[in-house]
Amino acid sequence: MLQGKAPYHPLSLREVESWLRQWNMPVIGHAGVRVIYDYLDKRLRDTRPLEETLRLELRYAQREPYLHVVARRPE
């Protein structure tokens, strides 16, 4: 079982963005998180081409539930 890296109760992007709108905090971007590399066994990491792992990271890091929302606080 994976522990310590995945949230127990991930929130939907729609829900988080709704809260931010209510708080007058405009969304200025989205940032993906690593979702493949951290979970690969070290032996597998060492035998896979890094480019292949990066391609998978970029593919999945831009999808829910792996997105973080970046917002601006009101001044």
- Count structural domains, the chain: 1
Domain of 47, in residue numbers: 13-71
Domain membership of residue 4 (yes or no) is: no
Q: How far apart are CA 31 and CA 68, in angstroms?
A: 5
Domain membership of residue 6 (yes or no) is: no
Is the pTM above the cut of 0.85? no
Domain membership of residue 34 (yes or no) is: yes
Domain membership of residue 17 (yes or no) is: yes
In tens digits, what is the pLDDT along the chain, a chain of 75 residues? 445 556 677 788 899 999 999 999 999 998 887 778 888 888 988 898 999 988 888 888 887 777 888 999 988
Domain membership of residue 25 (yes or no) is: yes
Q: Of 71, 65, 59, 58, which Cα lies nearest the Cα of 27?
A: 71
Domain membership of residue 52 (yes or no) is: yes
Phi, psi of 29 (to 5 degrees): 170, 180
Query: In whole angstroms, what separates CA 35 from the centre of its chain?
Result: 7
Q: How far apart are CA 58 and CA 64, in angstroms?
A: 13
Domain membership of residue 64 (yes or no) is: yes
